[in-house]
Amino acid sequence: MKIWAFLITLSFLGHVTSQGTNDNQTEAEEFLESFNSAAGKQQNILSQKQWNLDTNITDFNEEQLVKQQSIAAQFDKDMRAEALQFNSSAMSADVQRQLGKITDIGTSAQPNATKVEELATVLAEMQSIYGKAKVCLTPDICLPLEPDITRFLAQSRDYDTLETLWVGWRNETGRKMKDLYTKFVQLSNEAVQYLGYQDTGEEWRSAYESDTFVADVQDLFDQLRPLYEQLHAYVRRRLRQVYGESRFPASGHIPAHLLGNMWAQEWGNVVELVKPFANKTSMDVTPEMVRQKYTVDKIFRTAEDFFVSLGFDKMVPSFWTLSMLEKPNDGREVVCHASAWDFYNQKDFRIKMCTDITQDDLMTVHHEMGHVAYFMQYKNQPVIYRDGANPGNHCMHID
Ligand SMILES: *[C@@H]1O[C@H](CO)[C@@H](O)[C@H](O)[C@H]1NC(C)=O
Ligand SMILES: *[C@@H]1O[C@H](CO)[C@@H](O)[C@H](O)[C@H]1NC(C)=O
Ligand SMILES: *[C@@H]1O[C@H](CO)[C@@H](O)[C@H](O)[C@H]1NC(C)=O
Ligand SMILES: *[C@@H]1O[C@H](CO)[C@@H](O)[C@H](O)[C@H]1NC(C)=O
Ligand SMILES: *[C@@H]1O[C@H](CO)[C@@H](O)[C@H](O)[C@H]1NC(C)=O
Ligand SMILES: *[C@@H]1O[C@H](CO)[C@@H](O)[C@H](O)[C@H]1NC(C)=O
């Protein structure tokens, strides 16, 4: 969960150093101290409003969030203006870096307040569409992504139902978001141009602080490609044996709904269909978790034990009382998509997740708690540093 998107969008020092004239490092440090305290409070309120919406999707909570995001964008702009008064070129690397990050405010750079609000609204609306989406198999049976559709995709081998769910999910989410997403791209690109970026893609890539980033990623992909192609061909052959050749297009693609995951991004759920050695023991521990009567709490305690065994801290007591670890059954609409939360007050850390008793979710809990373990490790750092070294670290993929 990239809650930070409105406050820092990471550094691109080339755009920002040496613009002002104040070269007094003591004054810069005083500014950073007051920034820290104000930014922590600002980010805490913003996280609260985002949490309220994500755990209870209502128009009121959406309005509250959008309002707060406008305030936060103004705060970012004010702080940027103050940071730009310094000429940091002879200051310490640490001060230079903090000032650089404070000026790199992402879409908050949009000077038109109406457009700032439009962007926040577009994002909240897309999230709400996603959170509320259900696919109807019959007029009476309408399923949410979590847990029902996810479990179905993992376990069912019925081609037509899998296809209905896959297509239905796109129909209820992507199709409804298409215009909003186009608007998001336009508004976001326009906003970051005020910082000197060509577009949001350039701004996102700048976070990696590498001039050869695109070429490096391409190079890694090229190295992996031969293995990937063989794996793809192998899995396709096995799945053709299961579902029949007529189900597979001549183009060589694997229909995405056959891979056990809504985004076809992890194929572990079809391992029983494709594994080469039929008599090898299963790699899927879901049945064993059910047999051992795993509860949601037990999954999270298992993850906590794992991180403690690596030397990380235990979850704080409020983690267990304030997190949303299961889908509420009081009629509230929530964003089930799992996420980890830092409330930027050094004591409030949470996970929001609609946990199911499956191997997938056992792994997702470890993934999310990994974020929290890091949040807790760097809670005493300046606010601007309380994030991964780059977006590849707190990698926010859908899982
Ligand atoms: C910033 O300071 C450096 C020396 O530390 C100086 O060379 C440069 O001219 C200054 N730039 C501005 C804009 O004052
Ligand atoms: C830097 O600023 C501090 C605080 O305002 C002041 O006490 C100090 O004299 C300044 N140093 C220089 C070299 O101007
Ligand atoms: C959900 O939000 C509404 C405001 O829109 C509020 O009245 C209600 O109490 C909230 N429900 C929960 C369970 O927090
Ligand atoms: C600000 O944006 C709104 C909505 O896009 C637009 O109608 C308005 O003209 C803009 N204001 C200025 C001063 O550009
Ligand atoms: C797509 O969604 C629309 C409106 O929500 C609905 O009328 C239509 O039946 C859906 N089509 C499919 C293929 O799910
Ligand atoms: C797999 O196990 C079955 C039953 O235990 C046995 O009949 C068969 O020969 C085994 N296959 C291989 C390849 O080991």
pTM summary value: 0.89
CA of 58, closest atom in ligand 3: 5
In this structure, of 27-36, 122-131, 274-283, the range with the lowest mean pLDDT score is 274-283
pLDDT digits (tens, 9 = 90+) for 195-204: 999 999 999 9
How many angstroms is it from 281 CA to the middle of ligand 6?
A: 12
Residues of the chain with pLDDT > 70, as a percent, come to: 94
Nearest CA to ligand 1 atom 14: 21
Residue with tokens 């690596």: 310
pLDDT of 88 higher than 50 = yes
CA of 136, closest atom in ligand 5: 14
Q: Give residue 204's pLDDT.
A: 94
Distance CA 49, CA 385 (A): 22
Q: Give residue 395's pLDDT.
A: 61
CA of 60, closest atom in ligand 3: 5
Average pLDDT score over residue span 153-172: 97
Burial of 49 per CB tally in 10 Å (0-12, 13-18, 19+): buried
Judge whether 256 and 264 are in contact, CB under 8 Å: yes
Of residues 372, 304, 379, 293, the one with CA closest to residue 344: 379
Q: Give residue 114's pLDDT.
A: 98
How many angstroms is it from 266 CA to the middle of ligand 6?
A: 28
pLDDT digits (tens, 9 = 90+) for 55-86: 999 999 999 999 999 999 999 999 999 999 99
Q: Give residue 11's pLDDT.
A: 34
Please report which helix (H) or strand (E) contains residue 342, including its range: strand 339-342
From 62, 203, 304, 368, the catalytic residue: 368
266 in active site:
no
- The Cα-based distances of 310 to 300, 307, 316 in angstroms read 16, 5, 17
Consult the annotation and say whether 367 binds a ligand: yes
Average pLDDT score over residue span 343-364: 96
Q: Give residue 21's pLDDT.
A: 94
In this structure, of 37-41, 111-115, 289-293, 392-396, the range with the lowest mean pLDDT score is 392-396
Tell whether ligand 5 has an atom less than 6 A from the beta carbon of residue 37.
no
Q: Give residue 245's pLDDT.
A: 97
Q: Give residue 283's pLDDT.
A: 79
pLDDT of 3 higher than 70 = no
Average pLDDT score over residue span 380-397: 82
309: how many CB neighbours lie within 10 A of its CB? Answer: 8
Q: Give residue 18's pLDDT.
A: 52
- Using CA atoms of 188, 193, 196, 199 in order, give the dihedral in degrees to the nearest 10: 60
Judge whether 132 and 48 are in contact, CB under 8 Å: no
